[in-house]
Amino acid sequence: MSHFSKIQTRIHDIVILKKTLSSLGFRNNSSSNQLEDEKGKIYHVDLIVQPSEKALTMQPIGFIWDGLQYNIVTDLAHWPSKGLFDFFLEKLNQQYSLNVILDRTVKDGFQKIEQRVLKDGSMKVIVQKWN
């Protein structure tokens, strides 16, 4: 039997979260702020997204604020595999972290010069600031 799971994250900024999800190929479903499980239980969430790719037939993913961070609300039984969810979560955390760093560096007057993904999957970002 499937049901929604709540997965804790360390995501605090909704604007950067939306930017991150968009860059990962998800689109905001702004028409609703509710998810309903197979039993008809309603979950009120702050953000709902779904994949932009038509080939991915996943259920929408919700994000709910718990007072400290945004947690993921999703039915893990509807993901094609646990490995795919783990991959999504890893990419979400990596891209969100990068976006937080880039947002902060711009606020501090730096400019991004270079960004690339290394062979091991890590990211390298070079910024500079002219005085």
Domain-wise residue ranges, the chain: 5-93
Q: Could you tell me what percent of the chain has a pLDDT over 90?
A: 62
For 47-88, write each residue's pLDDT tens digit.
999 877 654 556 789 999 999 999 999 988 888 888 888 999
Report the pLDDT averaged over residues 26-30.
Answer: 83
Task: Report the DSSP beta bridge partners of residue 124.
Answer: 116
Instruction: State both tokens at 131.
Output: 């005085």
* pLDDT, position 20: 96
Measured torsion, CA atoms of residues 45, 46, 47, 48, in degrees rounded to the nearest 10: 20
Res 76: pLDDT = 87
Q: What is the DSSP letter of 77?
A: G
pTM: 0.87
Instruction: Specify the amino acid at residue 35.
Output: L
- Whether the pLDDT of residue 22 is over 90: the answer is yes
